[in-house]
Amino acid sequence: MFLPRPRSLVRDQGELVLDHSTTLGAPPALAGVLAWLQGALRPATGLPFATAEAATIQLSLADELEPEAYQLSVGSHVTICGGSPAGVFYGCQALLQLLPPAIYRRAPVSGQRWSLPAVQVDDAPRFGWRGVMLDVARHFLPKHDVLRFLDLMAAHRLNTLHWHLTDDQGWRCEIRRYPRLTEVGAWRRESQVGAGRDASGDGRPHGGYYTQDDVREIVAYAAERFITIVPEIESPGHVQAALAAYPSLGVTGQALEVWTRWGISRDVLNIEESTVDFFTGVLDEVLELFPSRYIGVGGDECPRDQWRADPRTRERMAELGTDDPQSWFIRRLDDHLTAAGRRSFGWDELLEGSPGPGTAIASWRGSTGTVAAARRGHDVVACPDDLVYLDYRQSELPDEPIPVSIPLAVADVYAFDPVPAELTPDEARHVLGGQANVWTEHADSPRTIDYLVFPRLCAVAEALWSSAERDFPDFDRRLRHHLARLDALGVEYRHADGPRPWQRRPGIPGRPESREERAAHVAGLVANIQVS
């Protein structure tokens, strides 16, 4: 019944039924979790769940458990014990999974019987970074939809949202000292429909951004669910929205519009001191908003043609004594973040140069970056595109909407293991965990995000929480039950037999690849990463 699968589960005889007399109890240190649990149990049941000293459902802390571990026992009453409030929270999430799926509804639907089977569960996650990257730059996701996404993450015990806030196609976070970043950079004239050079534009403006108060609210909401938000401000490529707002940041200095095409803009940041100042200024506001240890600085897919062609850049490179403007720029941001007591977090392209010693890597191009980062002493988060890119098509079916790259079915994703087999146990300690990446070029609404993300994210959640063992038939059986929970939550997931008619995008071009084509392409991309 549990998803993700727990470390140990023993079923006992009997059941406990929640009713009007059921009470909740917790020490003051768990007041936040207790309030969350009340808020989770009340809407669907309509029961009061008053608090009491000797409560039916008792939350507690236990020093001997790992911070995110929990023990859940259901007998004549319920005890949920965790190594920290986070562990207790995950125990509460497990408790919900013992109840009928209707517990996930927000109001009572009928005379449900809220019966808990007697069980003993002993559980802890395998990885400390259980993440999702959500791209709100390509398509803006309104605040309330972000909050809903966080709820869905929490229900799957994911604890890290890598929030991709800026890109060529949009800048989504208010920066007070640079208002044009959102005045100009937060919207574009139109959007490309589908993939490929010949794809048409839709003629419809798109935009939106989060005010700083919105960000504070989202960060606090996430924290109450034990989710850390790692913001990402892209540089020195994927910056066309910033260049549209402040052209002097660019190499050419020419006026640009926020990009209306998908892909990689050729326009990059110049390597002037003033541009470093601008971006460290942005980061200073980001640091105020986000308490996360890691701050994303980007570093992926940065084209170098403009730098090579520009005499002023060649002059600057000579002054600075570097032949790699990207490394130089990211290193300057890393210095700034390190001085502020934080760590930079960037894509595995950084391993083509020499990232700062504290830099953590998001390894997306197969497992090469994971191996290289771990061997070179960098902490690393595995997000290999051939396993956990949830924008990739879900099947070979011709009606898969805007089919991108290789097919990734639930079973494919379920095979994900963040730790490549070639790492020694010592090296593997650098693997913080993994994350699914949700790029949204082709997800222009929250409904489409639901379709791309679920139920594949359920498989990612189990791959990151549970042990390295894989038993797909067992997972699939539990997933079928879990889908009833997603139904109750109103998640418009992809059904196993294919998209619903209204989830199709007939005639919109994708760019499907075979696994062989994709593997060859990625092998070429990572050829110049030094693995050790």
Interface positions with its own copies (CB under 8 A)? 31, 35, 39, 42-43, 48, 50-51, 102, 105-110, 142-144, 147-148, 186-187, 203-208, 211, 213-214, 216-221, 223-224, 445-447, 487-488, 490, 492, 500-507
92 vs 84: CA distance, rounded Å: 13
Q: Looking at beta carbons only, is 269 or 449 nearer to its own copies? A: 449
Q: Looking at beta carbons only, is 75 or 446 nearer to its own copies? A: 446
- Answer yes or no: 167 catalytic: yes
Enumerate residues 6+ apart whose C-beta is below 8 A from 66: 83, 87, 124
Q: Looking at beta carbons only, is 149 or 278 nearer to its own copies? A: 149
What are φ and ψ of residue 212, in 5° steps?
Answer: -65, -35
- Answer yes or no: 224 catalytic: no
CB of 125 to its own copies, least distance (A): 24
CB of 206 to its own copies, least distance (A): 6
Helical (H) or strand (E) element with 297: strand 294-298
Judge contact between 137 and 171, C-beta under 8 A.
yes
In terms of residues, how long is the chain?
532
CB neighbours of residue 196 within 10 Å: 11
CB of 501 to its own copies, least distance (A): 5
Q: Looking at beta carbons only, is 288 or 517 nearer to its own copies? A: 288
Sequence-separated contacts (24+) of 466-471 with Cβ below 8 Å: 466/4, 466/5, 466/6, 466/7, 466/126, 467/5, 467/7, 467/126, 468/126, 468/417, 468/419, 470/414, 470/415
416 vs 421: CA distance, rounded Å: 12
- Hey, what's the torsion of the CAs at 250, 252, 257, 261, to 10 degrees? -90
Q: Which residues are registered as beta bridge partners of 81?
A: 60, 71
Judge contact between 395 and 403, C-beta under 8 A.
no
- Rounded to 10°, the helix 31-45/85-98 angle is 20
| DSSP letter for each residue of 113-172 | --EEEEEEEEE--S-SEEEEEEE-SSS---HHHHHHHHHHHHHTT--EEEEE-EETTEE-
CB of 283 to its own copies, least distance (A): 20
> Which stretches of 377-505 are assigned E, i.e. beta strand?
380-382, 404-405, 431-438
Q: Looking at beta carbons only, is 165 or 406 nearer to its own copies? A: 165
447 vs 432: CA distance, rounded Å: 31
CB of 166 to its own copies, least distance (A): 16
Catalytic residue among 139, 164, 206, 238: 238
7 vs 87: CA distance, rounded Å: 14
CB of 372 to its own copies, least distance (A): 38
CB of 213 to its own copies, least distance (A): 5
Q: Looking at beta carbons only, is 167 or 300 nearer to its own copies? A: 167
CB of 518 to its own copies, least distance (A): 28
124 vs 90: CA distance, rounded Å: 9
420 vs 428: CA distance, rounded Å: 8
Q: Looking at beta carbons only, is 187 or 262 nearer to its own copies? A: 187
Judge contact between 226 and 159, C-beta under 8 A.
yes
Q: Looking at beta carbons only, is 138 or 343 nearer to its own copies? A: 138
Please identify every residue annotated as catalytic.
Answer: 167, 238, 301
